[in-house]
Structure 1
């Protein structure tokens, strides 16, 4: 059972918060951390790593830390979120480790259920559900992604990835609590200078874990920012596409090393395809950077990750319209893809796909 059975030793949870130019959000985020009830740990430490902010974020954190000794600020030249998180992990002293992004908010009691589960099961980490939170016309809206809903529909304790291969889709670091020894002993690493570093690190974690606990509780509020500054809202950039493809390749290598056909099949059919539709759309958007280069990179990736690997995109589980988009990309039909997306936006997917299918000799799966 690890740290929970050591008598006389305080049970400390380290919270790592990487910060870069989030002056409008960081105070609320830290407040939600500091207000967490401590029913299963005696104390927390909040290690904030300012990654060269220029908007006053560090000064805000300094003010908070001056009034609350649980908050510790580390500053570094701008180096990227991966290096910031690494610095936070190295500075952390707790036996348990979790992460919060500084533009997100924790629910009122985010940690109790995960900590209690770890105490009872001795698993390497616990993972809860997350809700996406947005504000539209002044009204808060909450949304759980379909894969998140499927993965967290029931409690599964002392689980292994072979028992729940779809958990490889839970590529977020902030809805989990880890034993820090598990993290460091397995040399789990965030790739540097990429917007999608969580997928590689979390794939490492799921594959390395002797067991993990899957809970139904919502433990994290994932805020959708409206200022287009979030990495997930910049799909039309070449660098974004390259980082996405690189991350997928690294994930494939990690899963391939296990030798598990079931894990690899789940990865290619249910996990790798889920965000590709954004890049299919970006490929025919007039605002996309260097559209010819973008198209070439996208097509190479679709062929490599699916068709050349023997798993045509038609066999994936994403919606039919997205499978059709990938099929057009693979066949180098950029103009037809643009027409298809325009028709979907005007008529809706069902009517558009029906009309397209009537005019094409489509393969099985489309």
Structure 2
């Protein structure tokens, strides 16, 4: 029996309460986390939606994750488990989306936790505005010496300082930096009608899909509420080690190029300027450091790939990295990469680590004729 419709009257217009919110959870080897994650989903209050369905796609786990989900599904009919051979998180999400039937669609990663009432404000806002999706803030959660610590990243803080309703991407261009799928609720019809897809076999698939969503939306709602707890797992391998892999760098480059293509096709100089100066540069410092790390895989090829993309996405495009909004030290690193000065980059990073950014950059600048912006 289908859940009954409920409605609310806003401004003389009766807005129906959505029948069903579909939650897609891709799972791969998260046995230590998935039960807590699903518990946080199933405990959500249903103030603004009649019901939820939770579609869990096990992507060939080998650690017993599927058995944990199977036990939960046996006790709660709202949970459906789909198993498939390991194909990557993008395909797992697509499998989940195809199996959903709800009016609304959201995503949760299986090692994260939802706050006590993650969805009500977003769904209530969508009912009022009729926008294509709503996006809330998120907190990063770490545990250090048994103590939980929470913080909001600078760009997340900037984007969610205040509530803004019925936005278009040109009204809020910095939202292109919100490249996470899990702090949003979409109208499922919007997602499918616009054929929004996650690129396959890449660690940075969210950026392309979310760029598509922001560019396609007639309007979206930005909320200041924290709607997601983004847990930093203690068992993840070193970020530095990952950045030093050729495959990681190639995936990052590919994602950035795809994002540039999407924004270029949209045809807004304002958006493209924001993309090149404020969004694309954000994570490049990790690769600047990796490029001179002794453990880097195939260092000559890594350097060549990195230098080529720095020239392509900034200097050749007429937006020198010196004009970006990232910290001065990162701008200086990029300039040295563009100048093909690998040993000087290594020296600069060593100085930053020993003396701190301000003193290191001051000492470096005293011996250099630096361009404007550095």
TM over 0.5: same fold? yes
Q: Identify which of 100, 105, 119 aligns with 2:108.
A: 100
Contact 1:114/1:177, CA 8 A, preserved across alignment:
yes
Alignment of 1:312 onto 2:326: no
Higher mean C-alpha deviation, range 225-234 or range 63-72: 225-234
Q: Which runs of 4+ in 1 moved over 3 A?
A: 3-7, 229-233
Q: CA RMSD in A?
A: 1.5
CA gap of 1:177–1:145, structure 2 versus 1, over 3 A, is same
The equivalent of 2:30 in structure 1 is 22
The equivalent of 2:177 in structure 1 is 169
3-state DSSP of counterpart to 1:234: helix
Alignment of 1:258 onto 2:229: no
CA gap of 1:10–1:257, structure 2 versus 1, over 3 A, is closer
CA distance in 2, matches of 1:20, 1:145: 26
CA gap of 1:37–1:164, structure 2 versus 1, over 3 A, is same
CA distance in 1, matches of 2:269, 2:179: 20
Q: Identify which of 136, 159, 165 aligns with 1:128.
A: 136
Contact 1:299/1:330, CA 8 A, preserved across alignment:
yes
CA distance in 2, matches of 1:183, 1:233: 35
The equivalent of 2:68 in structure 1 is 60
Contact 1:49/1:74, CA 8 A, preserved across alignment:
yes
CA distance in 1, matches of 2:263, 2:18: 37
Give a deviation string over 1:67-89, Cα, whole Å, max 9, x none: 11111000000000000000000
Higher mean C-alpha deviation, range 225-234 or range 213-222: 225-234
What does 1:339-358 align with in structure 2 at a 5 Å threshold? 339-358=347-366
Contact 2:90/2:205, CA 8 A, preserved across alignment:
yes
Length-normalised TM-score, structure 1: 0.97
CA distance in 1, matches of 2:205, 2:241: 16
CA distance in 2, matches of 1:347, 1:77: 50
Contact 1:228/1:234, CA 8 A, preserved across alignment:
no
Number of residues paired by the alignment?
Answer: 363
Alignment of 1:224 onto 2:232: yes
What does 1:149-164 align with in structure 2 at a 5 Å threshold? 149-164=157-172
CA gap of 1:34–1:199, structure 2 versus 1, over 3 A, is same
The equivalent of 1:245 in structure 2 is 253
Displacement after TM superposition at 1:228 (Å): 2.2
Alignment of 1:178 onto 2:178: no
CA distance in 1, matches of 2:238, 2:82: 23
Give a deviation string over 1:276-321, Cα, whole Å, max 9, x none: 0011111111111111111111111100000000000000000000
Structure 2: 5+ residue runs without aligned partners?
1-5, 8-13
What does 1:45-124 align with in structure 2 at a 5 Å threshold? 45-124=53-132
Displacement after TM superposition at 1:97 (Å): 0.1
Alignment of 1:213 onto 2:221: yes
Contact 2:106/2:186, CA 8 A, preserved across alignment:
yes
CA gap of 1:284–1:231, structure 2 versus 1, over 3 A, is closer
Alignment of 1:139 onto 2:130: no
Length-normalised TM-score, structure 2: 0.95
Contact 2:15/2:127, CA 8 A, preserved across alignment:
no
CA distance in 1, matches of 2:239, 2:341: 28
Give a deviation string over 1:250-274, Cα, whole Å, max 9, x none: 0000000111100000000000000
CA distance in 2, matches of 1:146, 1:280: 21
3-state DSSP of counterpart to 1:257: helix
CA distance in 1, matches of 2:130, 2:240: 34
Structure 1: 5+ residue runs without aligned partners?
none
CA distance in 1, matches of 2:177, 2:141: 20
CA distance in 2, matches of 1:306, 1:124: 32
